[in-house]
Homo-oligomer: A and B are copies of this chain.
């Protein structure tokens, strides 16, 4: 028995394209294969097999942390010896959005990203707003347009203001990626109650990679005073494999030192929910950035505590994301608006074309890994998307 990441997803086979199944991606000696948990459930997870019959993660999410633990322990004990007839080649399956997204909240948890954007959007003010180190700033995004990796991303149309102050309408000319880390909420909470940081792992089943596509020109014109709306709502891509939080124990690190004293509900002295996840970003196959999640100021546990401190409830399927992951160095920035300094310094790709923002046909692939136990690697998979022309 070997340790493995064992993330959960939903898939169909060419054989039965109408039958959604829950799969577990295998690695190690069985890399490149998917364990069909909808078929293998009775043999592998016993009385929890019913959770996987519907082919989505929804019942597992709602089942809560005791069941999550039991299912994962069963899978860790059996994945590399389970009957091979329960596995299928990963390259033969179609992956689907594996759960029903409830509310989607996007945070703004990277100090480097927030400062980079503050300098670009509000050049006459301090890079960070006065509230930034007191609370993890967040806002609600559109859950109905969360799509699985591989879904084409149509360039949005919208209003923008030209440099000479004219308001025009058309396809976005400043289409960007945002490399983010997502937390998938399982067990819900009750309206009027809060989820303390200590209960983070009781509510979050797992994590995924997120690309929160952003139209900077639409956003810049619309976002005062109520925040981003159409500049973000046209598509948010997520990786197809939800990696259990339990697989990231060896990746836990201390977050950066806190510069201002935090309110009790955000105080995380003594806890370690920073995560040493290393992202890689490729544009049309060419590496363009390596954002380090460990550099984030706010942790996922703090985000959940903040999100619920006012009594707002969470539901199974809620997704919250970190906001763009940007490290301190230019090669670690998670958006093109940062990498090209607001579009003023284009990137040159190996084919000698240049990029400020994304062009039709461009493909962005974001992948990530983290340390596992005993030298193992936690493969967080990837989230990919290709830009298709505006309608």
Within 8 A of B (CB), among A288-321: 306-307, 309-315, 318
| Chain A contact residues: helix, strand, loop or mixed | loop
Given contacts A140-B233, A230-B312, 9 further A-B contacts (CB under 8 A): A103-B143, A122-B225, A134-B159, A137-B222, A140-B140, A154-B192, A157-B310, A167-B263, A193-B391
Copies in the complex: 2
Q: How far is the CA of A306 from the CA of B391 in the complex (A)?
A: 15
**Chain B CB within 8 A of A52 CB:** no
Q: Which of B169, B226, B310 contacts A227 (CB 8 A)?
A: B226
Please give the number of chain A residues whose Cβ is less than 8 angstroms from any Cβ of chain B in the complex. 64
Q: For the complex formed, measure the closest distance between the CB of A164 and the CB atoms of chain B, giving whole angstroms.
A: 14
Per CB-CB distance, the 3 closest pairs between chain A and chain B, nearest first, are: A227-B227, A156-B310, A140-B140
Whether B137 pairs with A226 at a CB distance below 8 angstroms is: yes
1/0 per position for A211-236, CB-CB distance to B under 8 A?
Answer: 00001001001111111111101110
Whether B235 pairs with A191 at a CB distance below 8 angstroms is: yes
**Chain B CB within 8 A of A162 CB:** no
**Residues of B with C-beta under 8 A to A143:** 102-103, 143
Whether B145 pairs with A309 at a CB distance below 8 angstroms is: no
The interface of chain A, by Cβ under 8 A from chain B, is: 102-103, 105, 108, 118, 121-122, 129-131, 134-135, 137-145, 147, 154, 156-159, 161, 167, 169, 191-194, 215, 218, 221-231, 233-235, 263-265, 306-307, 309-315, 318, 391
